[in-house]
Amino acid sequence: MSGEAPEVWHRLHPLSPVVRGGRGTAGIAILLVLIVFHRGKLSDASVQLAIAGLLIVGGFVSWLVTRWRIEDDDLRIETGLLRRRSLRFPLSQLQAIDVVRPGLARMFRVAELRLRLAGTSGATARLAYVAEHEVEPLRDRLLALARGARLDDGAQELAPVGEPATQEEHIVATVSSGRLVASICLEYWWLIAILLGILAGVAVSPHTVGPLLVGGGLVWTISLVTFLWRRFNQQYRLTVAEGPDGLHLHGGLVALTAEIIRPGRVQAVRLVEPFLWRPLGWCRLEVDLAGRQKSKGEGEAQRGQLRTLLPVGTRDLGIELVDWLLPDRPRELSPPPRRARWKSPVRYRALSWGRTETCVATTSGRLRRVACWVPLEKAQSLRFTQGPIQRRLGLASVHVDTAGRGVHATLRDRDVEEADGALEDLTDLARTARRRQAAA
């Protein structure tokens, strides 16, 4: 790999600062339009003009001083005018490449490449923005390089360097927009009810409801709407496809995203069935990934959130995807002893757990049913807990902790003996699974 002449430096797409500016860009455009149509002396608007000019020049300069190239096995990005930064991202640690297209980017036919790297730092290299027609070749090239670099490190097979990643996809599921809307309404029916109530209130007696809205209620209403909107926007037309390197996800209404999920990166899988979905046999499949970074426009709250693989689909489809991600999932789950009903009267019917050599599965939930699968090599720690009621009943729980905050597989309310045994078993199995992974 070494000995190659270093590549020439590339620049990002010239329109990058415009897209990056996002709302700011729109603001400047509006400002300029206002100035142009404002009938008066130009000197009146000198301050605004100066600000707009400064921002434009700043954006241009930031584009001018940013460049990138591929050096051997690294992606190097240089940026900054006064404080020059040179970033080096080892491609051997590349986990996945996401392609993100926010609204403005789609208008200008550009896209952002986001390279997610492994390691505790979980760094993300961002190439924002690259022309749309260059995205696919560049992504394939980076992936091929990453594969090559990894094989160099591990040296098990001959590295097929330069061979582009095959783009064969087998589409598994696409979510229709009608079903998505229905599913969101059914899951958040209470939010919708609140919104409708507010609307009705405004319509019937604006004088009583109006002041309430102004006094803080408006903020809540807006955040409700944003929450629902974001859900819809992210999950619109989400398509899952099986590719050679993992599950390919793409979708989104305004901001398009494309993501590749490698089975080996999955920390945990969760199948959720909200209460009102259950009669329809729908479910949602979410995965917890390591090193998932907060992306632009996502709040801190979303960071810990899981990646939705299947926003809404039939249970069979969900299970099929689970099988794809964790081929060795436990098929037979055992219910807790009958006396667990005293401890968890509502949950009792949903509780169960099972395991194979490499994977543990649990189910739980009161109104909303949740099933979790955790590959044992990803288990971080195991906990055996027993509360006062559980002690009286001779029960105990075992928790399998995974990275992140999202999913916990909990063997809830098992017989003490069984829980003790499970703790031992799972500890041993997790150790073997870890060793196997380290050896591979």
Partner 1 sequence: MGAALVAAVVLAILGFPEFTPIPVAIGAVAWVVVGRRYRSWGYGEREDDLLVRRGVMFARLSVVPYGRMQFIDVTAGPFERAFGLATVRLHTAAAATDARIPGLEREEAARLRDRLAELGEAQAAGL
* Site residues (vs partner 1, CB under 8 A): 118, 120, 267, 290-291, 378, 380-388, 391, 399, 401-405, 408, 423, 427, 430-431, 434, 437-438
The maximal CA–CA distance of the chain, rounded, in angstroms, is 87
* Residue (148 or 404) nearer to partner 1, CB: 404
CB closer to partner 1 out of 246 and 291: 291
Smaller CB separation from partner 1, 16 or 397:
397
How many other C-beta atoms are found inside a 10 Å radius of the C-beta of residue 211? 10
Residues in the chain: 440
Of 108 and 384, which has the nearer Cβ to partner 1?
Answer: 384
CB of 369 to partner 1, least distance (A): 21
Sheet strands side by side (includes 74-79): 10-11, 67-71, 74-79, 85-90
Residue 109 or 435: the one with the smaller Cβ distance to partner 1 is 435
Nearest CB to partner 1, comparing residues 172 and 268: 268
CA distance 413 to 251: 40
Please state the φ and ψ torsions of residue 296, each to the nearest 5 degrees: -60, 135
**Residue 234 or 402: which CB sits closer to partner 1?**
402
Instruction: Provide the minimum distance between the beta carbon of 202 and partner 1 in the complex, in angstroms, as a whole number.
Output: 41
Angular region, 157: left φ>0, alpha ψ -120 to 50, beta rest: beta
Query: Closest separation between CB of residue 118 and partner 1, Å?
Result: 7
Task: Compute the least distance from the CB of residue 377 to partner 1, in Å.
Answer: 8
| Count of CA atoms in the C-beta half-sphere (13 A) of 239 | 13
Report the SS3 class of residue 410: strand
Q: Structure tokens of 35? A: 């100035």
Looking at the Cβ atoms of 127 and 374, the one nearer to partner 1 is 374
Instruction: Show the tokens assigned to 288.
Output: 């917890």
Q: Where does residue 180 rank: exposed (0-12), middle (13-18), buried (19+ CB within 10 A)? A: buried
The CB-of-384 to partner 1 minimum distance in angstroms stands at 4
Query: Residue 290 is encoded by which pair of tokens?
Result: 């390591």
Closest approach of Cβ 383 to partner 1, in Å? 5
Q: Nearest distance from residue 426's CB to partner 1, in Å?
A: 9
What whole-number distance in Å separates Cα of residue 21 and Cα of residue 3? Answer: 39
Of 289, 367, 377, 282, nearest in space to 328 by CA: 377
For the CB of residue 150, give the shortest distance to partner 1 in the complex, in Å: 13
